[in-house]
Amino acid sequence: MPQAPAPDPFNPTNLRLSQSFVETAGVKKLLTTVRVGKPSPLIVTFSNNAAGSAVAIKELEHRIRWKRALHGGQEIYPLTKLTDAPWKTGFGMRRRPDFPILGWRQFIDGQLRIVEPLSLEAELGDSVPF
C-alpha cells in the first residue's frame, strides 16, 4: 500500500494554527500588569564613604536592632529622612549625615503596614502603678 507524501515543512499553509488552539492546548491566558513610570522617591539608597556617614549608618543599625528586639524579633523597617547633624572632629565641628526615624513599617501578608509604638509598660516589661 503506497503511503501519502509527507507535508512540505516550508509551505506556510501547513504552519497555520486554527483559532481554537488555546482551548485545545489546555492552558489558560495569563494577564500580567507591569507598571511603567518614574520610580518613587520614597525608596532611596544612600552611598557615601565618609567617616561621618559610617557613624550615621552604625547609629541607624543600632536603633533598628533595639526596635526589633523590643518587638520580639519581628522584621520591622524604619522610615527615615536624610538630614545632617553636628559632629565633633579633630578639625572642629563639622556636619555629618543623620537618619532620624519618622516611623516603623512591617510587611504583613504582602502589604506594608504601620507598626504601632509600644506602650511604656510593654517597652519596659513592667507595670508601674502611679
Cβ count near 115 (within 10 Å): 17
The pLDDT of residue 118: 78
What whole-number distance in Å separates Cα of residue 67 and Cα of residue 82? 19
Across the beta sheet with 111-114, the strand order is: 76-80, 101-108, 111-114
The pLDDT of residue 99: 92
3-state class of 42 per DSSP?
coil
Strands 76-80 and 101-108: antiparallel
User: Within the chain, which residues score under 70 in pLDDT?
Assistant: 1, 21-44, 128-130
The pLDDT of residue 111: 82
Q: Does pTM surpass 0.75?
A: no
Longest dimension (CA), the chain: 106
88-125: per-residue pLDDT in tens? 989 999 999 999 999 999 888 878 888 888 777 777 77
